[in-house]
Amino acid sequence: MDDLDRQILAELQNDGRLTVTELAARVGLSLSPCHRRLRELERGGAIRGYRAVVDADAVGLTFDALVFVTMRQEDRSTISAFEQALTELPQVIQAQRLFGDPDYLLRVVTADLAAFQRLYDENLATLPGVQRLSSTLVMKHVVHERPLPA
Assess whether pLDDT exceeds 80 at residue 107: yes
Q: 18-48, pLDDT tens digit by residue?
A: 999 999 999 999 999 999 999 999 999 999 9
| pTM: predicted TM-score of the whole model, two decimal places | 0.86
Dump strand ranges (E) for 20-87.
63-71
pLDDT band at 117 (very low <50, low <70, confident <90, very high): very high
CA–CA separation, 57 and 60 (whole Å): 5
Q: What is residue 15's predicted lDDT score, i.e. its pLDDT?
A: 93
pLDDT value for 96: 98
Whether cis (ω within 30° of 0) applies to the bond prior to 149 is no
Give me the pLDDT at residue 150, please.
74
Residue 145, pLDDT score: 85
The reported pLDDT for the residue numbered 8 is 96
**In the predicted model, is pLDDT for residue 118 greater than 90?**
yes
Please give the average per-residue pLDDT across 115-125, as a whole number.
98
Q: Give the relative orientation of helices 3-14 and 20-27 as an angle to the nearest 10 degrees.
A: 130
Taking 90 as the threshold, does the pLDDT of residue 49 lie above it?
A: yes
